[in-house]
Structures are given as C-alpha cells and as structure tokens.
C-alpha cells in the first residue's frame, strides 16, 4: 500500500472515532446555532441548536473525551453524591470537588443582600480589622472546616431539591417518599423487558414560579429524565438533557452517565450496552467560543478503559476507590468559566 493510501486509511479510521460525534456537534452549533440571551444572566449569550443525539457503545471503551483532559475525580464524586440522594455540597467540598460551589454561594450572597436572617452566628469574617461578607473561597473553606451537623453547613451548604434528592427522595402529595433509583434497579432485576423504567428529576413543585416561596431549586434539572432499556442482556440508558452546556458540562455528563450505566449494569447482573445522549437546547456560551475553536483543532485519541470493583453488588456500596481508569491519554485541559444561571 502506498504512503498516501495508508494516510487516507488512517484518516478514515480517525474520523470513525466516536468522539467525533461530540466534535461535530460543536461544529454544528458554530455553523447553525441561533444567538440567544441567557435567562437570569445578562452578561453572556449563547449560540444554540435544538434536538440532537449522540450515542456511545460502552463495550468499545469508556467515553471520557480525549480532545481535552476531563476531571474524572469530580465526575466520580458528583455521581456518588447524586446516588446518596444528598443536596448538601459539604461531601463534595470535603473531597475537593467544587462543581456546585457557585450555586450554594449564590444563595448565601442573595440572602445577605436581601437582609435575610442568616441562621449561623458566624457568617461574616474580619479582614484587617474590618467586617466583610465572605468571598466564595472563604465561604467554601468554612463549609469544609465545620462539622456536617453545624447549623451553618446545614443551612448554607444545602442547594435544595437537586438531582440526587429527586432520584432517591421524591416527596409525594400524600406524604410518601419514593426512591426512584431503588425502584428502577428492582425492575431491572425482576422485569427487565418493561419499557417504563424511567427516573425523572423534573418536579414542578420545586421549579421557579411553581415552587412555594423559598423552595425553588438552585437550578431546574438540566438532566430531565433517563430511561433504561435491556436487549439481549445488555443495559442501555438514554438521557434527555433539556439544556446542555456543550463545552463545560457535556463532557462531564457523557462520562458520568456512561459510568452510571456501567454501575447499574453491574448491580443488576447485566452487561453495559449504550449510553444515548439526547439533547433539547444544546449550546455554546459566548465566553467559550475561543476554547471550542481550539478543541476543534485536536484529533481524538483512543478511549480509555474503566474498570469497576466487581465485588460491589449494591448501588449504595460504591466508593471512589472502586473505579480504576486505564489508558487515558488526553490532550491538555482547556479552561472555561462557569456561567451560573438558575432560579434564585
């Protein structure tokens, strides 16, 4: 085979890499996206498209993007936090994961700016003899230093009815608490052929104007719901993602739900199938355009392999140490600023 032919074959194989689904979606948004304002944050805009889908066969590698390094530690700890059904970020900050810091801090600052009564007696600090409101770094450090049962942590570390709460502690009008995830796992073990194994995070009781005063979610769930499907002993999961930050959020989400699918497959005695990622509004923030163009210059590398501790048979028993990633060789990270939006 001639050198030019070999180069052409290599190029064709590269273009078949599943990561190109993500890169092509970036290009699609750049070329076809519509410019829109951002709700509750007038400082930035987005360029967005609506109604897209990508999918990853989990038997062909773990879809941790390689065209920029992705923070796997944060993905694992956040997923374990969701599975715990927690709404308090202390577990995350204790493990040096700061994905949700802005939402807790935003709530704290708003309470003070509205002269709301802060339940902790020590919510201010003195710097050079002058009293001042905490910076975000000081606020997070205080959450980390205090015990989990401290009133300040209980009040200001909590960000409301986020994903894990809806998955594990959905409150009904008649006072019951439904553990949707436990129900789904039982269904997969007993009646895996059912087409109604769906877990929803979209609870109108806690979303914006529909919520009772003071009960609104920090962020109406972007990951609205997910559905399980079993074919020939393989478990697949489809996520409906109503609003997706393609540059910062989606690489995390792909890896998180792919890992989640693998975990559920293990505890239900199934093999991992596909992770299917269906988008509503998928967008690039105006302050991420240069980063996206930089990422599009890069060529994907082989996906790594994720190995789970095979001894774990209960979804609540997974620990950070139960996950081993092998063969991850990404391009360098590309930093971008988080744009905080939401219901506060």
Instruction: For 28-46, write each residue's pLDDT tens digit.
Output: 999 999 999 987 777 789 9
Q: The pTM is what?
A: 0.88
Query: C-alpha dihedral over 92, 59, 221, 320, to 10 degrees?
Result: -10
Characterise 52 by phi-psi region: left (phi > 0), alpha (psi -120 to 50), beta (else): beta
Q: Residue 131 has what pLDDT? A: 45
CB within 8 Å of 261: residues ≥ 6 apart: 58, 235, 236, 237, 272, 273, 275
Q: Out of 3.40.630.10, 3.30.572.10, 1.10.3720.10, 3.20.20.70, select the CATH number for domain 3-87+177-326.
A: 3.30.572.10
Among 222, 230, 239, 284, the one annotated catalytic: 222
pLDDT in tens, the chain (344 residues): 555 444 443 444 567 899 999 999 999 999 999 999 987 777 789 999 999 999 999 999 999 999 999 999 999 999 999 999 999 999 999 999 999 998 899 888 887 776 444 444 445 544 333 345 789 999 999 999 999 999 999 999 998 888 999 999 998 878 899 999 999 999 999 999 999 999 999 988 777 666 667 666 656 789 999 999 999 999 999 999 999 999 999 999 999 999 999 999 999 999 999 999 999 999 999 999 999 999 999 999 999 999 999 999 999 999 999 999 999 999 999 998 877 665 43
Instruction: For 181-233, write each residue's pLDDT tens digit.
Output: 999 999 999 999 999 999 999 988 777 666 667 666 656 789 999 999 999 99
Q: Tell the burial category of 284 from Cβ atoms under 10 Å away from its Cβ (0-12, 13-18, 19+).
A: buried
Query: C-alpha dihedral over 109, 110, 114, 116, to 10 degrees?
Result: -70
Determine phi and psi for 186, rounding to 5 degrees. -65, -40
Is 222 among the catalytic positions? yes
Determine phi and psi for 232, rounding to 5 degrees. 55, 40
Strands 124-127 and 305-308: unpaired
Could you state, in order of their start, the residue ranges of all structural domains in the chain? 3-87+177-326, 89-159
């Amino acid at each position: 085979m001639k050198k030019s032919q070999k180069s052409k074959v290599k190029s064709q194989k590269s273009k078949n890499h599943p990561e190109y689904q993500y890169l092509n979606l970036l290009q699609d948004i750049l070329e076809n996206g519509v410019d829109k304002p951002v709700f509750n944050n007038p400082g930035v805009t987005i360029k967005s498209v609506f109604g897209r889908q990508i999918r990853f066969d989990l038997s062909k590698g773990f879809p941790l993007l390689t065209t920029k390094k992705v923070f796997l530690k944060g993905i694992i700890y956040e997923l374990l936090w969701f599975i715990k059904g927690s709404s308090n970020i202390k577990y995350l900050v204790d493990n040096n994961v700061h994905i949700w810091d802005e939402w807790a801090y935003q709530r704290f600052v708003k309470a003070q700016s509205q002269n709301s009564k802060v339940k902790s007696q020590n919510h201010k600090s003195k710097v050079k003899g002058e009293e001042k409101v905490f910076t975000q770094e000081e606020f997070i450090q205080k959450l980390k230093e205090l015990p989990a049962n401290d009133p300040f942590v209980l009040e200001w570390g909590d960000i409301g009815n986020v994903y894990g709460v809806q998955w594990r502690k959905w409150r009904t009008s008649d006072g019951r608490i439904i553990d949707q995830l436990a129900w789904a796992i039982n269904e997969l073990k007993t009646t895996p052929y059912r087409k109604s194994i769906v877990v929803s995070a979209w609870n109108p009781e806690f979303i914006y104007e529909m919520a009772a005063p003071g009960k609104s979610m920090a962020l109406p769930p972007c990951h609205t719901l997910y559905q399980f499907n079993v074919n020939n002993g393989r478990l697949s999961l489809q996520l409906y993602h109503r609003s997706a930050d393609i540059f910062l959020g989606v690489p995390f989400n792909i890896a998180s739900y792919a890992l989640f699918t693998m975990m559920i497959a293990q505890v239900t005695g199934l093999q991992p199938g596909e992770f299917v990622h269906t988008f509503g509004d998928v967008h690039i923030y105006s302050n991420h355009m240069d980063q996206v163009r930089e990422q599009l210059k890069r060529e994907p590398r082989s996906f790594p392999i994720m190995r789970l501790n095979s001894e774990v048979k209960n979804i609540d028993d997974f620990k950070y140490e139960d996950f081993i990633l092998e063969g991850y060789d990404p391009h360098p990270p590309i930093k971008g600023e988080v744009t905080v939006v939401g219901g506060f």
